[in-house]
Amino acid sequence: MIRKLFSSKTGIIRQISALMRNADQPPLHYVMTALCDTGRFGPNRNDFASTGTALDGISAWWASLGEGIERYCAALSDMHPQQKATFQQLEQAGVRALPPEKFRLFTDEQYQSPGFVFCRPERSSVLHWIAGQSLVDHGTCYLPSAMVFNAYRHPDEQLTVPNIHPGVACGTNLSGALLAALYEIIERDAMMTWWLNALPMPGIAASLPETVQTFITRNKNIEVSFLWLQTDIQVPVIFCLLVDTNAQVASGGCAARFQAEMALHKAFCEAAQTWLLALDLKRGRQGNIAHFCRKGLFPPDMDKPTAAPGTHVLHNLQAYLSAEYWDNLYPIRKPKERVALADLPGGPEHRSPEVMLRIITEMLVQTGLEPVAVNLTTPDIAETGLWVVRVCVPGMIPNTPTAYPPLGLPRLRTLPARLGFARAQAAAWNAAPIPYS
């Protein structure tokens, strides 16, 4: 049934192909998927491509395909019934919905700053809402459509949140898709809390599979560092930084998995994938990204290696093409302490997705958080047996462009204190771009 998705002219997937690996690239499998343009038949425009990188070819193929299907479904807001109302109107009608104060990502100072593009959501704000289901009590809870769909824009609605990246996932069954979405949310929450607070996280003493480790040992210009990003959810979260001192590029990857070794491998594969993206950015007007800029698929400033206004997540990699930002990488490259991979929390990954989903949901509940899921599977994708979901965990920290840090979420301050980090209330936030896209 998946074959029905493929057609160079009319398919959701226009093409999927393995990318050739150069001798100076880590020995991984790289797969790219070219996607249809949902902007031609829907209100929102999806990304034009997706990429998968893994230690084996089958995993890379599925990663690229799954990411492409996620982006397709998450762009089609008009395929789902929604209500146009204020929160007050929903509340008066007895409809359970997420209160606006739960998705105010920014502080009053940010909302009031000149040129800030997002409006403060109020209980009287007219928004579009979509029905979701709590993973705790399984009751219906309405979420703002802007937090559910990617690149969401509605002409009758104020812009209240940026594109919410974490929490959309594709799977061969519902539990697997929900679990993957929660992993991504936990990963980004830990990453943004660490970065914005500049917390001193421990490095990890670990080695990669033999072929990859041999490549790194032989290529002295390639430097790989791992950090354990501590959080209050007992799932290992690992950040990987890949630095190429010859090409003068730096890129990061992050992953959360129950099994620490799987998180480590996933984080490295992500860092290698974004490293290739950074190398293309460095080519400026001669790179592939510059070509897509000219076609209007990327912001027009992405083809200038020195331009990094911070309004797009790709600007993060662009910033680290300049050596002026490299001092920010020192705590990752030279952590004050290191731990063994075996010391990280977690457990075996071989348990069923249903069991692991229940365990993670219980962990979230214990910290006062409630995940809510929306089924985004469109009819054409449902015919293949695949599922696509959006999971929101109000209060957890999403990754956003550097110009729009989500400083209005209390968890940014409360989580470090809960973990035992001493941080002054008036301490400045880390305003540097994170080496991650």
Q: What is the 3-state secondary structure (H, E, C) of 308-322?
A: CCCCCCHHHHHHCCC
User: 53-56 — which CB contacts under 8 Å span 24+ positions?
Assistant: 53/28, 53/29, 53/269, 53/270, 53/272, 53/273, 54/28, 54/29, 54/269, 55/28, 55/29, 55/209, 55/212, 55/265, 55/269, 56/29
Neighbours of 175 (CB within 10 A): 17
Contact criterion met (CB below 8 Å) for 60 and 54: yes
Instruction: Categorize the per-residue pLDDT at 349 as very low, low, confident or very high, splitting at 50, 70 and 90.
Output: low
Residue 175 confidence (pLDDT) = 98
**Better-scored residue on pLDDT, 246 or 424:** 246
pLDDT at 383 over 90: yes
> At residue 360, what is the residue type?
I
In the chain, how long is the greatest CA-to-CA distance? 66
Instruction: Categorize the per-residue pLDDT at 18 as very low, low, confident or very high, splitting at 50, 70 and 90.
Output: very high
pLDDT at 27 over 80: yes
Length of the chain: 437
Averaged pLDDT for residues 101-121: 97
Averaged pLDDT for residues 35-45: 86
Question: Distance between CA 189 and CA 231 in Å, rounded?
Answer: 9
Residue 253 confidence (pLDDT) = 98
Distant-in-sequence, close-in-space partners of 359: CB < 8 Å, separation ≥ 6: none
Averaged pLDDT for residues 257-283: 93
Measured torsion, CA atoms of residues 74, 80, 81, 84, in degrees rounded to the nearest 10: 30
Residue 295 confidence (pLDDT) = 53
The reply to whether the predicted model has a pTM over 0.75 is: yes
Instruction: Categorize the per-residue pLDDT at 89 as very low, low, confident or very high, splitting at 50, 70 and 90.
Output: very high
Q: What is the mean pLDDT of the chain?
A: 92
Question: Distance between CA 10 and CA 143 in Å, rounded?
Answer: 32
Q: Which of 21-35, 148-162, 254-268, 291-305 has the lowest mean pLDDT?
A: 291-305
pLDDT at 299 over 80: no
Helix, strand, or coil (residue 95): coil
Residue 283 confidence (pLDDT) = 80
pLDDT at 304 over 90: no
Question: Distance between CA 168 and CA 392 in Å, rounded?
Answer: 9
Token pair for residue 212?
């990859």
Question: Distance between CA 159 and CA 144 in Å, rounded?
Answer: 11
User: What are φ and ψ of residue 129, in 5° steps?
Assistant: -130, 150
Residue 233 confidence (pLDDT) = 97
Residue 287 confidence (pLDDT) = 66
Question: Distance between CA 171 and CA 251 in Å, rounded?
Answer: 27
Residue 204 confidence (pLDDT) = 98
Task: Please give the share of the chain, as a percent, with pLDDT higher than 90.
Answer: 78
pLDDT at 242 over 90: yes
Instruction: Categorize the per-residue pLDDT at 425 as very low, low, confident or very high, splitting at 50, 70 and 90.
Output: low
Instruction: Categorize the per-residue pLDDT at 288 as very low, low, confident or very high, splitting at 50, 70 and 90.
Output: low
- DSSP string over 234-297: SS-EEEEEEEETTTTEEEEEEEE-SSHHHHHHHHHHHHHHHHHHHHHHHTGGGSHHHHHHHTTS
pLDDT at 52 over 70: yes
Residue 2 confidence (pLDDT) = 84
Instruction: Categorize the per-residue pLDDT at 120 as very low, low, confident or very high, splitting at 50, 70 and 90.
Output: very high
Question: Distance between CA 221 and CA 23 in Å, rounded?
Answer: 13
Q: Please state whether beta strands 387-392 and 168-171 pair in parallel, antiparallel, or not at all (unpaired).
A: antiparallel
For 206, 355, 406, the CA distances from 218, given in Å and listed in that order, are: 17, 42, 41
For 130, 198, 392, 410, the CA distances from 118, given in Å and listed in that order, are: 20, 25, 19, 19
Task: Please give the share of the chain, as a percent, with pLDDT higher than 70.
Answer: 94
Residue 40 confidence (pLDDT) = 86
Helix then strand then coil, in percent of the chain rounded to 5, is 35, 20, 45
Instruction: Categorize the per-residue pLDDT at 42 as very low, low, confident or very high, splitting at 50, 70 and 90.
Output: confident
Residue 45 confidence (pLDDT) = 82
pLDDT at 364 over 80: yes
At residue 367's C-alpha, the angle toward residues 187 and 358, to 5°, is: 70
Residue carrying structure tokens 């559910």? 148
**Better-scored residue on pLDDT, 318 or 426:** 318
pLDDT at 117 over 90: yes
Averaged pLDDT for residues 275-288: 80
DSSP E strand stretches across 118-201: 127-134, 140-144, 168-171
pLDDT at 293 over 90: no
User: Cα 197 vs. chain centroid, distance in angstroms?
Assistant: 19
